[in-house]
Chain A
Amino acid sequence: DIVMTQSPDSLAVSLGERATINCKSSQSVLYSSNNKNYLAWYQQKPGQPPKLLIYWASTRESGVPDRFSGSGSGTDFTLTISSLQAEDVAVYYCQQYYSTPPFTFGPGTKVDIK
């Protein structure tokens, strides 16, 4: 099974500042035949179900603000919130769908306001 790790466990960022979350997979999730990274990011606000933010490592889901961006390839990925807003307080999870089942999630990164 592919193991997903995330860092940091939590971070506090001032409003309007940049937040950066890292995700690492235990093996590459890049499929060479189509050059796609099988990696998604989800946002989970308190008391709510997860919400898809980004798929294919860098494609924003419809309706997701463009302050959210994903980058990386192979085994190392980053979710960036370019200008943190109050409504972005949440836990963020990465997930691989390269080798399934099982679908595996990272442990989550909690983002708060400083």
Chain B
Amino acid sequence: EVQLVESGGGLVQPGRSLRLSCAASGFTFDDYAMHWVRQAPGKGLEWVSGISWNSGSIGYADSVKGRFTISRDNAKNSLYLQMNSLRAEDTALYYCAKALGGTTWGWYFDLWGRGTLVTVSS
């Protein structure tokens, strides 16, 4: 089955760290750019970070630049998001998404996981 499954979310205090994981299956993981997109409670979609198929290109939203680090392990069909110096405004459901397209970042997101919830609160 073609799917993405996120894990690693939870309740964390402001200033602490968390590492999210996304396990991919059912497709050739290293053929595609991958992304993290988040959704604060009751809010819209916000792109967080993306990584090319070979990790050669990485990008971040300004809101997380310098605090979050995206990575992937193609041998394990896995995507990661290391989140440091977490803030209350990082509270959101974090989705892993696969990008279709032959460019560095891909184009549109044709496969999404169900998300993992990160709550930053003291």
A 55-98 binary contact with B (CB < 8 Å = 1; else 0):
10000010000000000000000000000000000010101010
B 1-14 binary contact with A (CB < 8 Å = 1; else 0):
00000000000000
Main secondary structure of the interface of A (DSSP, over half): loop
Contact size range, B: 20 to 34
Find chain B residues with CB under 8 A from A100 CB. Answer: 50, 59, 105
For the complex, count residues of A whose C-beta is within 8 A of B. Answer: 24
Contact B108 A102 (CB under 8 A): no
Contact B112 A105 (CB under 8 A): no
Contact B61 A55 (CB under 8 A): no
Find chain B residues with CB under 8 A from A104 CB. Answer: 47
CA distance A38 to B103 in the complex (A): 13
Footprint of B on A, CB under 8 Å?
Answer: 38, 40, 42, 44, 48-52, 55, 61, 91, 93, 95, 97, 100-108
